[in-house]
Amino acid sequence: MAVFLVVLLLAAVVVVVVDVRGQLPDRSTPRIPGLRSRVEVRFDARGIPTVRARALGDALRVQGYLQARERLFQMELARRVAGGELSELVGAVALPLDRRQRVYGFAGVAEAAVRLAPEDQRADAQALADGINAFISTRPGRWGVEFQLLGLHPRPWTPADSVRVLLLMHQQLSETWQRDLLNESLAALPPARRQFLTPEVSTDDVLILPDAEPRPAPSTSALLTRGAPGAGPATRPATLEPLELLGVPFEPLPGGAPPDVGSNAWVVSGAHTARGKPILANDPHLGFDTPGTWYPLRIELTDEGGAVRRWIQGVSLPGIPGLVIFQNDRLAIGFTNTGTDVQDLYREPEVGQRVETIQVKGAPAERFSVSLGRHGPMVRPGVALAWAALDPATLRAPVSSMMLATDWASVNAAADGFLGPGQNVLYADVDGHIGWRVTGVLPLRGPADDGRVPLDGSSPGHDWSGYLAQSRMPRVLDPASGRIVSANQRGIGTSSGLRWPSTWASPTRARRITELVAGEGIDARQVRATQLDTVGIVHREVVERLAPLLRPEVARAFAGWDGRAEAGSRLFRAAEEIRRRAYEAIAAAALKGSGIGPTELRWYNSDPTLLAALRASPESWRKAGLGDRDAVLGAAVREVVLDGTWGEHNRLEVRHPFGRGGGPLGWVFNPPESPLAGCDRCVRVATPEFGQSMRFVVDFSDPDATTLVLPLGASGHVGSRHRTDQQRDWLQGDLDGARTLLHAPAVGPPLVFEP
């Protein structure tokens, strides 16, 4: 019997292996509708393709085929999540998420956006769809093992599906309405204490555009310098109401950024580099999934004789045409999130309804009514959401004009048409220029409105009057410092003449990057090392200031500590516990009697609050009503001990949609776990489920030596050798760039697509 079971198990394994291998991409090159000329694709040793085409439209068609070849299930999930159609695949367990997405109505917004889009952008989206659909139609039953397990036949891809993917990125980068409700609950606190807990201005800010004189006072200074003696809680509790409506979750969409982290990008001019040319670095921080966020590729546009006349290389979002973060033969572009507030809530009566039908696998379809207010869909009873992303006219993606830009002027002309989530664009070019600008839209609010709390929807005075003209978007070219650092911090000072409502991240990462690029003779190797920097400067200061309150043996262990978050560090694990406990104690003291707990403040930038409180005197604490400083903090941190390493707590946990529950499916679909160096406040942002979604370095002294590395690999297929083949270099680093070249030699014969 035992022998029989072993044979049966081995047979099952063989069947699974054969089936998985049968779903891997082959060398098919079907006819793609609309292809005008021959296109050749070569792959390097990491499976990163180079697409050689006469015209960009042809390259985009083949890009669509390649994206579908490696990432079709990822794209299928993205369009279904955006449109609230996941229950059709997995059953009622997905209904809460589907209801949430149906409230937003992304499917209808995407269709309207395609109708309103400029002709060239519609053509780009259609070109990508042509390639995706060529893959779908010519590989029946071989779209990936996930489709096979679900018994799913993917429907044809449309340009509206690409807009859905864009809307998901909007959602990850600009969904903030829950914070407005929390601000409303906090309104009952004394103003000084409320500003202290929800800071917008910090003494540690790293500005790209400076503040005008007089400079704004730090938000945290109000509590510690103007707090009334004995200031107690508000006269009525500021209770936080439940933030659930018809299954609409309070939590942000999976993959969205935690409040204190985001992305890093910086540029250094040739005046400060070893070889006299600019260097640009970018590592956007997003949720970890398998496959990863980005699909890398290179496009070469050739003349009739086959000579390369233009080239572009970087990363694309599967389901969206073109490259997002890239380098071409003239310049390079990086992005970080600006955090622009493009959502407002309005308390107003219902003016209508939209009925949605959600198909549910294994159950009857659900009819779901979405209440509508004058300003948008109701996310809670009587509370309507105005959101720039729900305005189809803002959903623009001028990828061709951006990719083919040649200088600062043409980049700005293209960026003026990018009306998506607010982004910082970091720029460098072959002529030695560096620059920064903001893209996206900024709603023009009434004079007294700042977008922080729900407004009275019955008053037209609270309506938006449009968006800021693109010509007024802040920008800088060739600053005197020769350095620009953007890490989601408050970078737009008051000298811009604008109030820029945003969810700024902690200035921690920007401060550390600024320190590391302050020297001279910087080279690409140093830049790659900076992306891997694990020093937690907040943790270091917190431990130093709280040392007298720690256990003596713990304080002695921290003597001379450099603050590094290495995976094997016992000290950093303890430091993170000290930081967390100290902040929660400070927040609890400030919230005393309010009915709101410290964990509800996870939407806010905690570092300025924490550091201001630790830097303040005991007298300031008493005057502000926080109590005895050393007693409050000592009680919070005195029990911290050195127990275990940071890597035991901070482990990479990438989950495939099929493997989220663990078990046999987790064993098949989830990549291996690994201890992580870095932290959520380090330059090397690394948490179990969120961090550096790729690392990109361009040195214009050697444009062919550009490096790019992903957390996993280029392929999304279980069983592909390119599914996780970049993970080692992402974990360990490749300081010399030998293994992570973006433009690496081709391996094997090309794929050829004929018109």
Q: What share of the chain has pLDDT > 70, as a percent? A: 92
The answer on pLDDT for 430 being more than 50 is yes
The answer on pLDDT for 10 being more than 90 is no
Q: With contact defined as beta carbons under 8 Å apart, do 571 and 550 qualify?
A: no
> What pLDDT digit, counting tens, does each position of 12-42 carry?
444 455 467 788 999 999 999 999 999 999 9
Q: What tokens does 364 get?
A: 């009857």
All domains in the chain, ordered by first residue = 537-652 (1.10.1400.10)
CA distance 517 to 426: 15
Calculate mean pLDDT across residues 53-79.
98
**3 state SS for 648-672:** HHCEECCCCHHHCCCHHHHHHHCCC
CA distance 219 to 607: 12
| Residues facing residue 209 across a β-bridge | 492
The answer on pLDDT for 236 being more than 70 is no
pLDDT for the residue 243: 32
CA distance 653 to 673: 5
pLDDT for the residue 249: 37
Short-list 90, 81, 69, 87, CA closest to 27: 69
Helix ranges (DSSP H) in 278-366: none
How many residues are listed for the chain in this entry?
755
**Count of Cβ atoms closer than 10 Å to residue 592 Cβ:** 14
Q: How far is CA 747 from the centre of its chain?
A: 32
DSSP 216: P
Q: If you search the block for the tokens 């209904």, which residue do you land on?
A: 95
Q: Is the dihedral of CA 498, 500, 506, 509 positive or negative?
A: negative
Q: What share of the chain has pLDDT > 90, as a percent? A: 83
| Residues facing residue 378 across a β-bridge | 384
CA distance 736 to 707: 9
Short-list 491, 507, 494, 495, CA closest to 436: 491
Residues 6+ apart with CB under 8 A from 603: 176, 178, 179, 182, 259, 503
Q: How high does pLDDT run on average in the chain?
A: 91
Q: How far is CA 110 from the centre of its chain?
A: 21
Pairing of strands 343-347, 455-456: parallel
Residues 6+ apart with CB under 8 A from 361: 87, 88, 89, 90, 91
* Least confident stretch, 171-175, 239-243, 477-481, 542-546: 239-243
pLDDT for the residue 724: 97
CA distance 160 to 110: 5
Q: With contact defined as beta carbons under 8 Å apart, do 336 and 487 qualify?
A: yes
The answer on pLDDT for 190 being more than 90 is no
User: Phi first, then psi: what are they for 541, rounded to 5°?
Assistant: -70, -40
The answer on pLDDT for 612 being more than 90 is yes
Q: Which residue has the higher pLDDT, 129 or 223?
A: 129
What value, to the nearest 5°, has the Cα angle with vertex 654 and ends 649 and 657? 135
| Residue-wise DSSP of 658-724 | GGTT-HHHHHHHSPPPEE---BTTSSSBEETTEEES-EEEEETTSGGG-EEE-SS-S---TT-TTSS
> What pLDDT digit, counting tens, does each position of 345-403 carry?
999 999 999 999 999 999 999 999 999 999 999 999 999 999 999 999 999 989 999 99
What confidence category does residue 545 fall into, taking pLDDT thresholds of 50, 70 and 90? Answer: very high
Amino acid at 313: Q
CA distance 669 to 501: 41
Give the Å distances, CA to CA, from 130 to 126, 156, 166, 583, 754. 6, 9, 18, 53, 14
Q: Is the dihedral of CA 747, 145, 712, 74 positive or negative?
A: positive
The answer on pLDDT for 548 being more than 80 is yes
Q: What tokens does 674 get?
A: 């690994």
pLDDT for the residue 660: 85
- pTM attached to this predicted model: 0.93
The answer on pLDDT for 272 being more than 60 is yes
Short-list 443, 427, 437, 461, CA closest to 500: 443
CA distance 466 to 386: 12
Omega cis (within 30) before 49: no
What confidence category does residue 268 fall into, taking pLDDT thresholds of 50, 70 and 90? Answer: very high
Calculate mean pLDDT across residues 509-531.
98
The answer on pLDDT for 586 being more than 80 is yes
Short-list 545, 544, 542, 487, CA closest to 516: 487
> What pLDDT digit, counting tens, does each position of 84-134 carry?
999 999 999 999 999 999 999 999 999 999 999 999 999 999 999 999 999
Residues 6+ apart with CB under 8 A from 83: 101, 106, 107, 110, 164
What confidence category does residue 221 fall into, taking pLDDT thresholds of 50, 70 and 90? Answer: confident
User: Phi first, then psi: what are they for 739, rounded to 5°?
Assistant: -100, -10
Give the Å distances, CA to CA, from 665 to 639, 656, 659, 662, 670. 40, 9, 5, 6, 8
Q: With contact defined as beta carbons under 8 Å apart, do 104 and 82 qualify?
A: no
What confidence category does residue 238 fall into, taking pLDDT thresholds of 50, 70 and 90? Answer: very low
Helix (H/G/I), strand (E/B), else coil: 149: helix
Which own/partner pairs from 13-16 qualify as long-range (CB within 8 Å, at least 24 positions apart)?
A: 16/668
Pairing of strands 49-53, 295-302: parallel
**Count of Cβ atoms closer than 10 Å to residue 32 Cβ:** 23
**Count of Cβ atoms closer than 10 Å to residue 376 Cβ:** 22
Q: What tokens does 484 get?
A: 């620009």
Calculate mean pLDDT across residues 478-497.
96
pLDDT for the residue 228: 33
Q: How many CA atoms lie within 13 A of 620 on its CB side?
A: 16
Calculate mean pLDDT across residues 62-83.
98
